[in-house]
Structure 1
């Protein structure tokens, strides 16, 4: 009798609780993305532009689409100041946040990339290094958790050699020419050297390597040496203040700016505008398109900035080189999550392991890019188990004194040459670390 009484007394409470559960809206699903950004320090222009564009794209996905199949994107910035130790601190701080933890780490720093390379594998967090980082990580058999997508430093260097070869009448005409490699004296700056040295042997040009100490605002001795060397071309592999300083120094020494070819970290408005007239005619590589003419940029203006939800304090930077590169970061991240959802469950937040699978199965063909409004903003790419680069292309642009003008369409690297270096270097790493490369034929 007592048991029956208790049951009857609890019944109304159970019914009330059930009613409350029915009345409450379903909890929104969230996908957390940690942003190890840098908005202060000597390289703040790059960090603020790229992370600003990336945040704007994620805001677009939330505002226009309601997230990825209903999963809202959330994020948190952690200031690294482009410092390796701070980058590691941010990695540790961000990795456990969100319902499934941080599901991608993108530090925009070659130094930080090297510092957390083994950590991401242990913690099962995919690290994406678009246009920077350790080049041989493009071999996904040895580096399954690292994705140097679109184009690596060696692909860029190969594209530069092809471009310069085209300017002198063909690659065979490089024989006997002299090229100076003026580089930031850091892991980033040294990354292009193996490809440049091999290309010098292959095509018969003389390569002179000249380092510039961080941060690069003192280059008098370097440009005196360049003046003495009288090179046919100078490759400017710079970053931050080093770039406008180099252009002003070139102007003072009388070296033609249209024979200076910069890397994609030397080819932003923040590199040319501070140099003033000294930058006119300067050429640089780029791994994304520039300007506001892309439909996806116009969608950001419509759904984000028109609602006063934009991340950029200076709206004039929308469409700039760094900003558009941030949009590309956003596109690749969102599409990797979307790809993962297609396999592991639409409308669910993905784990780091699942997002890694999404990155490794990205296939952005011409139709897909058109649907995203990103035709020409980035090249078509297809990532696979063995190939974590996916495209290996670069385009070139020239500064006319006020804006960047396109010089070329996408130029594909010498893929055989680049892949040979990648596999040799990755193989050496695997042997040193005792890593058994994956058998991609057995991967799902």
Structure 2
């Protein structure tokens, strides 16, 4: 009897403890919340970049909850799953999180990894959850008639590289004919994505293109930079990520290649890339689709509202206003605005399903007036999407590292749509044929 009594007491104590833990923990996947699954990476070779990006992303979600009480009264909740920028782990995280909320199924999946997005593009379509590739991913997913659930928002890799070519041509009286450009790239889906566009640009622009890959993670580039010294190109277009970026800048300095002749992608243009490179980074250029700085009203207000309440996500608060932090905020703005747009059609104050949020992403209209209302004027370009255009912008700015901060050296530059859009349309048509998809716009 005594042992039975003790067993009952133990069971009761365990149940009480579980109840207390449940009450103390945040309700991450309540049916009444707009639950957002976040397959993130904060460790591994690209973890430093992920910390700033996802810190900004989570801070904005918190900001909406504190400042507005959620989206029209619907609280946002979320859960992160560590992918380490690994494709298999990214898929595992998605499968683990998609059923945590029976309505949203994750709302919008944003893995910030082109390889993971490639691995998820069919799965998310089958599960009817938007795959949001903001500034990365498959360029041909711009065609919503073939990829209804995939959104390479703001600017794609191919439009970005086209804008970089346009910028360089502008520095040479409008023409790069007879010039030599090296494309130094991360040997992955991310690095390979813009090659077809760059080859097309080289063909019509009559410049010589030399393609040089760098193996993951990119901390060994001696051979590549020796070849660059031998090639002596007029410019290097650089598609790096993580440790590869600072390594490249130091290697360029070592072989005597001018950093103001190197133009990186937006994933090779953050403080995480330049500060560790020291003097080797000065003069380096990169594209960007968002600006740096804490003077952007919404960034300053996040500091006041979220960090003032002791709910900030960043351990290093000095990262607020950095390129990747502000980019995370920008990505969260697009996601929240898609939920808000969906509510405008399907019911304000209601939790939106993945299908409904898909409609929201396909009907975004983030004007300059809306950006001003959000306190995000100049933070990112206007975004207007449709079935034919899941990108919604196609514009970038060029920035330069002055030794201590990023300085804008251009206004918004749009890539050559007449060249790039037919390329991704052809790619999307080929994909549709391979998969047996009949292209059609969803209602």
In the superposition, the TM-score normalised over structure 2's length comes to 0.92
CA distance in 2, matches of 1:159, 1:244: 23
User: Following TM superposition, where does structure 1 have runs of at least 4 consecutive aligned residues deviating by more than 3 angstroms?
Assistant: none
SS of the aligned residue for 2:120 comes to helix
CA distance in 1, matches of 2:99, 2:179: 53
2:171 equivalent among 145, 152, 167: 167
Q: Where does 1:182-331 land on structure 2 (aligned, <5 Å)?
A: 182-331=184-333
Match of 1:15 in 2: none
SS of the aligned residue for 2:167 comes to helix
Task: Report whether the alignment pairs 1:157 with 2:164.
Answer: no
Deviations 1:164-194 (A, max 9, x none): 1111121xx2100000000001111111100
CA distance in 2, matches of 1:107, 1:347: 27
Match of 1:134 in 2: 138
CA distance in 2, matches of 1:201, 1:274: 37
Deviation, 1:98, is 2.1
Match of 2:423 in 1: 421
Verify the 8 A CA contact 2:398 2:411 in the aligned structure 1. yes
Deviations 1:191-240 (A, max 9, x none): 11000000000010000000011111111110110001010000111011
CA distance in 1, matches of 2:61, 2:423: 35
CA distance in 1, matches of 2:418, 2:297: 34
CA distance in 1, matches of 2:349, 2:327: 27
Match of 2:129 in 1: 125
2:395 equivalent among 393, 398, 406: 393
Q: Where does 1:335-350 land on structure 2 (aligned, <5 Å)?
A: 335-350=337-352
Residue-pair matches, total: 413
Deviations 1:134-180 (A, max 9, x none): 1100111100000000000001010110011111121xx21000000
Give ranges in structure 1 of 5+ residues lacking alignment. Answer: 1-26
In the superposition, the TM-score normalised over structure 1's length comes to 0.92
Give ranges in structure 2 of 5+ residues lacking alignment. Answer: 1-29
Deviations 1:386-410 (A, max 9, x none): 1100000011100011111111111
Match of 1:143 in 2: 147
Verify the 8 A CA contact 2:31 2:101 in the aligned structure 1. no
Match of 2:16 in 1: none
Deviation, 1:74, is 0.2
Deviation, 1:99, is 4.4
Deviations 1:251-273 (A, max 9, x none): 01110000000000100000001
CA distance in 1, matches of 2:233, 2:182: 6
Verify the 8 A CA contact 1:215 1:241 in the aligned structure 2. yes
Q: Where does 1:68-107 land on structure 2 (aligned, <5 Å)?
A: 68-100=71-103, 101-107=105-111
SS of the aligned residue for 2:291 comes to coil
Deviation, 1:375, is 1.0
CA distance in 2, matches of 1:114, 1:64: 35
Verify the 8 A CA contact 2:338 2:361 in the aligned structure 1. yes
SS of the aligned residue for 1:112 comes to helix
Aligned-pair Cα RMSD in Å? 1.0
Match of 1:42 in 2: 45
CA distance in 2, matches of 1:74, 1:436: 36
Match of 1:376 in 2: 378
Deviations 1:109-137 (A, max 9, x none): 01101111110111000000011111100
Match of 2:15 in 1: none
Larger Rg: 1
CA distance in 2, matches of 1:309, 1:437: 45
Task: Report whether the alignment pairs 1:357 with 2:322.
Answer: no
Deviation, 1:307, is 1.2
CA distance in 1, matches of 2:309, 2:226: 52
SS of the aligned residue for 1:341 comes to helix
Q: Where does 1:28-39 land on structure 2 (aligned, <5 Å)?
A: 29-39=32-42
